[in-house]
């Protein structure tokens, strides 16, 4: 306990432990002790140490148990430093929050990308329809000039193929 508080051990003898706790934790520790003596069983709680003697936050887990002595009831407590665990928990919570924010950002970017892809597809389809289909129609009309001047069967097959080719960009 002396290491956690940052004071020499002889200074701590006979001093109430609650004096080294933050105000909120001192109240929680009082409730903890009441429960230990009332239930007569082992109890545990987590508390924040006061920062009067330490510069950074220190969290402890306190396990207490009441016992009967020749002078009456007594309480024995074990104090365990859980500061590292608390800091890790806080870091995990921050990381989780960052992850949630980044996932939301990725969803927004993905939605934006899909929207842009659809716009690009529509633009390309329009370009194909407008330019390619109109070129094929012009070629078909120009083939009309050759109708009746030679191999009409072959000309008819080419015109049929052009009709099919004109329908493809319209479908796209």
Q: Residue 144, CB half-sphere, CA atoms under 13 Å: how many?
A: 7
Give the residue with greater pLDDT, 118 vs 71. Answer: 118
Confidence of residue 172 (pLDDT cuts 50, 70, 90): low
Give the residue with greater pLDDT, 167 vs 54. Answer: 167
Query: What mean pLDDT is predicted for residues 97-121?
Result: 96
Long-range Cβ pairs for the range 167-172 (8 Å, 24+): 169/125, 169/128, 169/129, 169/132, 169/133, 169/136, 170/129, 170/133, 172/125, 172/128, 172/129
Amino acid 92: pLDDT: 97
> Against a cut of 0.85, is the pTM above it?
no
Place of tokens 């099919």: 164
DSSP 82: -
Amino acid 53: pLDDT: 58
């Amino acid at each position: 306990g002396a290491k956690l508080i940052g004071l020499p051990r002889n200074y701590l003898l006979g001093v109430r432990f609650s004096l080294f706790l933050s105000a909120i934790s001192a109240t929680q520790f009082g409730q903890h002790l009441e429960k230990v003596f009332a239930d007569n069983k082992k109890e545990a709680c987590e508390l924040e140490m006061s920062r009067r003697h330490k510069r950074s936050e220190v969290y402890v887990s306190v396990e207490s148990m009441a016992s009967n002595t020749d002078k009456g009831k007594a309480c024995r407590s074990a104090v365990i430093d859980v500061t590292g665990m608390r800091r890790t928990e806080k870091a995990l919570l921050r990381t989780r929050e960052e992850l949630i924010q980044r996932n939301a950002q990725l969803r927004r970017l993905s939605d934006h990308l899909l929207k842009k892809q659809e716009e690009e597809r529509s633009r390309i389809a329009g370009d194909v329809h407008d330019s390619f289909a109109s070129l094929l129609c012009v070629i078909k009309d120009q083939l009309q000039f050759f109708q009746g001047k030679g191999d009409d069967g072959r000309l008819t097959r080419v015109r049929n193929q052009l009709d099919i080719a004109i329908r493809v960009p319209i479908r796209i």
